[in-house]
Amino acid sequence: MTDDLDDLRAAMKAATPAPDTKAKGENIALARKNFATLQGSGDAARPKSNRIWTGVKTMLSPLTTRGGRGGLVASTALIAIGFIALNPQLLEFGAQPEAVTLPVNVGQEPIEMQADDQFNGAVVLEEAPPATTLATPKATSQRLNRSAEAYDWPEVRIYPQPAPRPSIVLPEGDAVATAPAMERDTEAFPDAAANPLKITSEEPVSTFSIDVDTASYAVVRNSLMSGVLPPRGAVRAEEMINYFPYAYPVPEGDVPFQPTVTVAETPWNSDTQLVHIGLQGAEITERPPLNLVFLIDTSGSMQAANKLPLLKQSFRLMLAQLRPEDEVSIVAYAGSAGQVLEPTPAGERSTILAALERLEAGGGTAGQAGLQQAYQVAEDMNAEGEVSRVILATDGDFNVGLSDPAALEDFIADKRESGTYLSVLGFGRGNLDDATMQALAQNGNGQAAYIDTLSEAQKVLVDQLTGALFSIANDVKVQVEFNPARIAEYRLIGYETRALRREDFNNDRVDAGDIGAGHTVTAIYEVTPVGSGAVMADPLRYGDAVPGDPDGEIGFLKMRYKAPDEDVSQLIETALPEASSLSGEAQFAVAIAGFAQLLRGESALLDWDYADAIAMANGAKGDDPFGYRAEAVSLMRLAQSLSE
């Protein structure tokens, strides 16, 4: 039947019109103008009012210069204006989201230089004084610093909609450029810069929320297995470290978790030390009945073998872990929409499996209010003393009825208050929206896990199911105060998206991560003692004498947590110990921390390389009953060869 295609090809050739010359000229001019605007934009941000106006101009000029479709142009423009009035900070229209991928020479040069040296008179800057074109993208990198919600929506685009809402848009081009061989079109990763080095005398206190997500490690593994180094933004050190279970000392008595702190020399820098903080959650012996509502994405993109079919298999594995008194319900969105399975006792396996089998991927339309329905079902199922959780399984299409990310988060946070939590399981690569997954799970007091193989499903849904579904301590925050007389500088490894403001530590209304039953959580600081050769910043010439007690401890650790169902937090305090050596468990965590930093290409590691990471991890594999650590070592080897 090549005839058909040939016919079609000929017809297509004949039908394809030449581009409108006027439109072409305008479009190219627009692109060049935006290009010039972007290039000149690395400088300091200007006052907001100016930026808004520049933004409006940038945005409206392409719309108003077009002739011929007056009606469309007018309505679009009007709505755009209304939208700005509502929400000025969404104006990073066309702004560069990947702040860290900026070529170094671009952001730092003043635009006049470029006009002389590079543009060569070829580009006429329509915005006359260079200063007025400088602002837009800077705001994006500023947003990275919002502490309480420090993850960053990748890019916000403005759509002409009746109720204008920002949507998440992906860096498409990026996908092909980094990994042409892999099916990755609309992935979005939060791109937080690594935590900067802090000077103790200026900022002695470091505060963050714990993080029990593991998605980053699985994404990294998936990338490496496909022969590509993972995108930098996908590597989150804390999630890679916390992927592994560690055997830290178990809590005794009533406390839900036990902190263990070790200070030891840094493997990659003998002039600095690592402060390793390990939290071990208590195991629970008796658990309350569980109500699980699975909210399953059945959109067309879920059809791939590593998505819906894998989800079904994973689900089967998990079912065996549930007890007869637990209840399961399934709500699907897109494809087969609505409640697919009424709340059913977990004992009725055949009913549940039959409902699961009926799920089919197909259709692109979003099921309206899928999430609301799932929560409704969860609330109806909830009874005194039971635990309810919505588990969202998706490949990244979060079009679940609420298309505004902020409203979606608010909705989930609101439901969290009413006692229904949310966990997110990511499947497949392609349009995995890692940033959104993380944000949703964070707001829902749940875990974000990424499932790419059946063995990962085994880990998340079988081996660690209790931990994932039953939290034993909520809103766990960590605050470390360093003694400036002992520690000159410090740096928290990972937790970039989990930073909290200092005052939020004592504010019980500020949400933070939860520790599940038997979970371990690890945080690692690299600290530079006073007088060490590795101190980066010179002391101030006109500063006062450094405060603090040179004979005191090096620092003080405080943690706050809420017992489940309680609103008032409790405090755990302990002084940081003097330097000793790392336990085997801590050594493995440090090796993974080093691995993550190597993948992110961070400079703090000096000449420590993959070979060192492999040696260190190999020496600290311990029992490794599930083989997770052995797998990590082989991933390090893969990364080593890929990076050569």
Partner 1 sequence: MRMTTDDRSLGLAAAGGDAAAFAALLERHYDRMFGLAYRLTGQQAEAEDLTQDICAALPSKIRAYRGDAAFGTWLYRVTVNAAHDRRRRHATHAKAAKGWGDWEVNRQAVKSEAAAAQDWMQTAMMSLPDTLRDTLALVLDDLNHAEVGAVLGISEGTVSWRVSEAKKHLRALKGKETT
> Six-digit token pair at 547?
């405060």
Binding flag, residue 37, partner 1 (CB under 8 A): yes
Q: Judged by CB under 8 A, which of 48, 74, 78, 172 binds partner 1?
A: 172
Under rule CB under 8 A, how many of the chain's residues touch partner 1?
73
Among 119, 556, 626, 628, binds partner 1 (CB under 8 A): 119
The closest of 579, 553, 547, 556 to 205, measured between CA atoms, is 556
* 579 contact partners, CB below 8 Å, separation of at least 6: 263, 264, 265, 273
Task: State in angstroms the smallest separation of the CB of 172 from partner 1.
Answer: 4
Copy the structure tokens of residue 61.
Answer: 């000029």
Neighbours of 457 (CB within 10 A): 22
Q: How far is the CB of 360 from partner 1 (least distance, A)?
A: 15
Closest to 485 (Cα-Cα) out of 543, 551, 534, 544: 551
| Contact pick of 16, 49, 350, 603 for partner 1 (by CB under 8 A) | 16
Residue 226 is a binding residue for partner 1 (CB under 8 A): no
The residue among 351, 352, 287 whose CA lies nearest residue 325 is 287
Options 184-192, 197-205, 206-214, 633-641: segment touching partner 1 (CB under 8 A): 184-192
> Do 281 and 257 meet the contact criterion of CB atoms below 8 Å apart?
yes
Least Å from the CB of residue 399 to partner 1: 8
Residue closer to partner 1 by CB (options 222, 280) is 222
**Per the structure block, which two tokens stand in for 24?**
């072409």
- Considering only the stretches 30-38, 208-216, 320-328, 346-354, report the one whose residues sit in contact with partner 1 under the rule CB under 8 A: 30-38
Q: Residue 533 and residue 636: Cα distance in Å, rounded?
A: 30
Min separation Cβ 601 and partner 1, Å: 14
Cα–Cα distance for residue pair 190/184, rounded to 1 Å: 16
CA distance 225 to 244: 19
Judged by CB under 8 A, the stretch of 31-39, 240-248, 343-351, 619-627 that binds partner 1 is: 31-39
Binding residue for partner 1, selected from 43, 98, 348, 631, defined by CB under 8 A: 98
Q: Which of residues 48-67 bind partner 1 (CB under 8 A)?
A: 62, 66
Of the candidate spans 3-11, 325-333, 379-387, 583-591, the one that interacts with partner 1 by CB under 8 A turns out to be 3-11
Tell me how far, at minimum, the Cβ of 15 lies from partner 1, in Å.
5
Judged by CB under 8 A, the stretch of 1-9, 524-532, 602-610, 623-631 that binds partner 1 is: 1-9
Q: Binder to partner 1 among 90, 91, 139, 175 (CB under 8 A)?
A: 175
Rounded least distance, CB 152 to partner 1, Å: 15
Stretch that binds partner 1, among 33-41, 522-530, 531-539, 626-634 (CB under 8 A): 33-41
- CB count in 10 Å sphere of residue 177: 9
Q: How far is the CB of 227 from partner 1 (least distance, A)?
A: 13
With respect to partner 1, which residue has the nearer C-beta, 32 or 502?
Answer: 32
- 8 A C-beta contact, residue 30 and residue 37: no
The binding track of 185-224 with respect to partner 1, each residue x by CB under 8 A or -, is xx--------------------------------------
Backbone angles phi, psi at 374, to 5 degrees: -60, -45
Q: Confirm or reject binding of residue 179 to partner 1 (CB under 8 A).
A: yes
CB of 106 to partner 1, least distance (A): 4
Q: Please choose, out of 113-121, 552-560, 575-583, 587-595, the segment that lies near partner 1 by the rule CB under 8 A.
A: 113-121
- Vertex 88, ends 417 and 44: CA angle to 5°? 110
- By beta-carbon proximity to partner 1, the closer residue of 71 and 385 is 71
Is residue 563 classed exposed, middle or buried when 0-12, 13-18 and 19+ CB atoms within 10 A define those classes?
middle
Among 47, 103, 129, 253, binds partner 1 (CB under 8 A): 103
579 binds partner 1 (CB under 8 A): no
Segment 401-440, which members bind partner 1 (CB under 8 A)?
A: 403, 430
User: Which residues in 325-364 contact partner 1 (CB under 8 A)?
Assistant: 364
Query: Given the complex with partner 1, which of 234 and 290 has the nearer CB atom?
Result: 234
Cβ closest to partner 1, residue 176 vs residue 575: 176
Task: For residue 122, give both structure tokens.
Answer: 């070829």
Residue 37 or 587 with smaller CB distance to partner 1 = 37
DSSP, residue by residue, 554-622: SEEEEEEEE-TT-SS-EEEEEEPPPEE---HHHHHHHHHHHHHHHHTT-GGGTT--HHHHHHHHHTT--
Own/partner contacts of 77-84, CB < 8 Å, gap of 24 or more, are: 79/160, 79/161, 79/162, 79/164, 80/56, 80/158, 80/160, 80/164, 81/56, 82/164, 83/158, 83/164, 84/52, 84/55, 84/56
Q: Smallest distance from the beta carbon of 558 to partner 1, in angstroms?
A: 41
Site string for partner 1, 365-394 (x = CB under 8 A): x-----------------------------
| Binding flags for partner 1, 68-97, as an x/- string (CB under 8 A) | -x------------------------xxxx
303 by DSSP, 3-state: which?
Answer: helix
When the beta carbons of 173 and 196 are compared against partner 1, the nearer one is 173
Give the nearest distance from C-beta 311 to partner 1 in angstroms.
21
CA–CA gap between residue 18 and residue 611 (Å, rounded): 57
DSSP result, 416-429: HHTTEEEEEEEESS
Which residues within the stretch 130-149 sit at the binding site for partner 1 (CB under 8 A)?
A: 137
- In this chain, which of 39, 260, 423, 583 binds partner 1, going by CB under 8 A? 39
**Which one of residues 173, 196, 533, 625 is an interface residue with partner 1 (CB under 8 A)?**
173
Structure tokens at 490: 């410090």
285 membership: H or E segment, kind and range:
none
CA angle 117, 121, 127 (to 5 degrees): 100
Q: Is 34 in the site for partner 1 (CB under 8 A)?
A: yes
Residue among 471, 473, 399, 474 nearest 440 (CA): 399
Instruction: Give the relative orientation of helices 405-417 and 434-443 as an angle to the nearest 10 degrees.
Output: 30
Burial level of 641, CB count in 10 A (0-12/13-18/19+)?
A: exposed
- SS3 of residue 518 by DSSP: coil
Residues 151-170 interacting with partner 1 (rule: CB under 8 A): 159, 161, 169-170
Binder of partner 1 out of 70, 129, 180, 196 (CB under 8 A)? 180
- Give the C-alpha separation, 38 to 32, whole Å: 10
